[in-house]
Amino acid sequence: MYLEKLVLQNYRNFDCLDLSFCKNINLIVGDNAQGKTNILEAIYFITSGKSNRTNSIQDLVKWGKNFVLFRAILNEYGEQDNILKDYIQNNNILSVNKDNNSHSCYDKDSGSNYTSQANTNKKLIEIEISSDNKYKIKVDRVYYKKKSDFTFILPSVIFSPDNLALIKGSPSFRRDFLDDVLEKTNLDFYKIKNDYQKILNQRNSLIKTLNTNIDVKNNATLDIWDENLIKYGSEIIYRRILILSNIYKLFPKILIEFFNDIETEIVYNFSWNDKIYFSEKSNGFEESNYKKFLDLPKQKALESIRDIFSFYLKSNIFKEVNANSTLIGPHRDDFNVFFNERDIKLYGSQGQQRIAALILKLCEVDFIKRQIGKNPVLLLDDVLSELDILREQTVLKIINNNTQTFITTSNNNYINDIKDFKLFKGNKGIEIKKFLVKNNKVEII
């Protein structure tokens, strides 16, 4: 499946866009501050239900407008069929209207010629957001209430220069990376994480009211929050280490394409291993080795994680009361990447850190594909231009196989660099489509 068509109205700096893409490489070229990154953000939004750049949905609405529209046509097999062509032409979905309140890209009554039954290889996703943050979500003209109803149809993976924080940034960036992958591959994970966060908030509120040993001992409310925190937190931890173990299997195989003299290791760091709070292990637990849990059946692994989680949660309650916060749990976990036994967050060069972050994203693409049987859309925002030509070609070699890819660049010569790449010479199966973004417009070049 790939993104065949994207329609945007009142989105950031664009009044109305109608873009048709190819299923291989889509190059988006333009000077800085023209809107290249905005297009990738729109693709990420229509496939994931959230922005990779802002938590404020109002940032997506063009200044002075009262709604923003996203429409995507997803194609599972190939070229646009005649039924869909007729739908687009007959309904004139892109007739320009100067009325600010008019849905010039979005006729509410249009689309009668498009049905999921008539287009079994197509999916039509529409999201309209009003200025008061009200959502209207439709898949094949049917209304849905939850974003999770469409985010599994065609997932996407985005990599931008900001993703260097995956290596250099705080632990929250790495936790979010693992959790984003889980949300794309596990239908129930969003609810599990949301339930955990609610319980964590309630427990933190309770802890702030506890002042003495008497408050802590035999506190039935605290016991209830602990029980549920352990229940949901252990599930999150188990799923994270499962993903990380799969990433670790592929990571060195991709790394050798960039550096042939580096040994790598990826380590999951549990909150209970933090030396700030703990000076030694207890009860013979070898809790620092996350891989040992994966040698067990799932239920046994979860039981083992729960036992360790419970032990440290109860052992550190007085530290938590002093800190007015829960110190144990997946919300404080982390992972680190090592090159030749050295943490690259601390000792790696910027080039090594950038490649490591990129490989994590490429591993995400592979994991999603194997988990849900679909190639996610890969969005590379001004990333390859930061690599030398040899490593650019290495990335293209890795991603070209059945992965629809969008690449932004401000380098006009970059088009020729890719066309000249030997991988594409004489290969009629690989299509490259080029777009120029200029003056709030997009045209094919």
Same domain, 213 and 125: no
| Final residue belonging to a domain, choices 350, 367, 399 | 350
Backbone angles phi, psi at 415, to 5 degrees: -60, -45
Helices and strands, number each (H, E), in the chain: 13, 15
> Which of 170, 143, 151 lies closest to 43, judged by CA?
151
Last residue of a domain, one of 311, 335, 350: 350
Q: Are residues 175 and 330 in contact, defined by beta-carbon separation less than 8 angstroms?
A: yes
- CA 194 vs CA 112, 202, 229, 306, 331: distances in Å: 38, 13, 12, 19, 12
What pLDDT does 152 receive? 83
Q: Is residue 367 part of a domain?
A: no
Residues of the chain where predicted confidence (pLDDT) is lower than 70 = 77-120, 212-214, 274-288, 400-401, 413-429
CATH number, domain containing residue 183: 1.20.1050.90
Within a domain: 336: yes
Distances (CA, A) of 144 to 3, 49, 63, 229: 20, 12, 27, 31
Q: What is the pTM of this model?
A: 0.85
Residue with tokens 């974003």: 147
Q: Which of 289, 303, 375, 422 is nearest to 47 (CA)?
A: 375
pLDDT in tens, 239-250: 999 999 999 999
Distance CA 267, CA 270 (A): 10
3-class DSSP state for residue 337? strand
Instruction: Return the pLDDT at 200.
Output: 98
Could you tell me if 413 and 301 lie in one domain? no
- 192 with 252, same domain: the answer is yes
Q: How many other CB atoms are found less than 10 A from the CB of residue 249?
A: 13
Let me know if residue 282 belongs to a domain: yes
Q: Is the dihedral of CA 284, 288, 294, 298 positive or negative?
A: positive
Nearest to 185 by CA among 320, 350, 364: 364
What angle, 0 to 180 degrees and rounded to 10, lies between the N-to-C axes of helices 298-315 and 220-258?
Answer: 120
Could you tell me if residue 371 is inside a domain?
no
Helix axes 350-372, 171-185, angle to 10 degrees: 20
Check residue 352 and give its pLDDT. Answer: 94
- The pLDDT value given to residue 420: 54
Looking at the fold, whether 264 and 309 belong to one and the same domain comes out as yes
What pLDDT score was predicted for residue 212? 67
- Residues with Cβ within 8 Å of 394's Cβ and at least 6 positions away in sequence, in order, are 257, 258
The answer to whether residues 283 and 412 belong to one domain is no
pLDDT tens digits, 297-336:
999 999 999 999 999 999 999 999 999 999 999 999 999 9
**34 and 92 assigned to the same domain:** yes
Q: How many domains does the chain have?
A: 2
Range of the domain at 17: 2-155+376-444
Determine, yes or no, domain membership for 269: yes
User: Which token pair is 274?
Assistant: 């933090």
Which residues does 120 contact at the CB level (< 8 Å), separation at least 6?
Answer: none
Residue 361 lies in a domain: no
Task: State both tokens at 117.
Answer: 């039954």
The answer to whether 244 and 309 have CB atoms below 8 angstroms apart is: no
Last residue of a domain, one of 350, 384, 414: 350
Q: How far apart are the first and last CA of the chain?
A: 25
73 found inside a domain: yes
282 with 307, same domain: the answer is yes
Question: Token pair 């992972």 is at which residue?
Answer: 335
For residues 30 and 21, the answer to whether their CB atoms sit within 8 Å is no
* Selection from 180, 173, 166, 157 nearest residue 353 by Cα: 166
291, 403: one domain? no
* Chain CA centroid to CA 152, Å: 12
Helix 171-185 × helix 220-258 angle, to 10°: 90
Residues 149 and 174 in one domain: no
CA proximity to 180, closest of 391, 365, 390: 365
Same structural domain, 143 and 259: no
Give me the CATH number covering residue 83. 3.40.50.300
Same domain, 177 and 215: yes
Tokens representing 406? Answer: 């969008």
According to DSSP, the β-strands at 342-343 and 334-339 are antiparallel
Q: What is the pLDDT of residue 120?
A: 63
Q: Do 211 and 311 share a domain, yes or no?
A: yes
In a domain, 25, yes or no: yes
Q: Distance from CA of residue 79 to its chain's centroid?
A: 27
